[in-house]
Amino acid sequence: MLKLLILNGPNINMLGIREPEIYGKMTYNSLVEYLKTEAARLCVDVEFFQSNHEGALVDVIQNAYGRFDGIVINPAAYTHTSVAILDALKAVGIPAAEIHISDVTKREDFRQISYAGMACKWHFIGEGKLGYVHGMEAIIKHYKEIENA
């Protein structure tokens, strides 16, 4: 069974409260429960981590080395600022999918650069909670393709 790490950056814990016109009314806890159900359906093991602190996210990415088969990451605001998260993702070399609940391509100019995304093989932007599912599915497909090669 594949083991996936689902990481969420700053303010994702405020889902349902923070700008519901952009992010919807889904809470972080309901997102986690939804993704647990989807992971079970997809037959993957998942572990969740959310932090508002860049260093904590870097530590978790580094500690994923040798323990996880894939990373599904919504770096949130750190997307546009964190070379440290980019470097951590590159260092561990674990296949990663970048997720954004909102469509950052249609938002402020500063949101148009994704440092973390530079280390991600897949990008799911503006798909809400389905983006996470599509990220998990992409990683599963990646390993099936390797298996069948």
Check: CB of residue 84 under 8 Å from CB of residue 103. no
Catalytic residue flag (residue 34): no
Task: Kindly report the number of other CB atoms within 10 A of residue 31's CB atom.
Answer: 24
Residue 75 and residue 85 in contact, taking contact as beta carbons nearer than 8 Å: yes
Integer Cα distance of 62 and 109 in angstroms: 30
Catalytic residue among 28, 65, 78, 100: 100
Catalytic residue among 23, 28, 34, 143: 23
Whether 65 is a known active-site residue: answer no
CA distance 7 to 52: 11
For the annotated catalytic residues, the residue numbers are: 23, 100
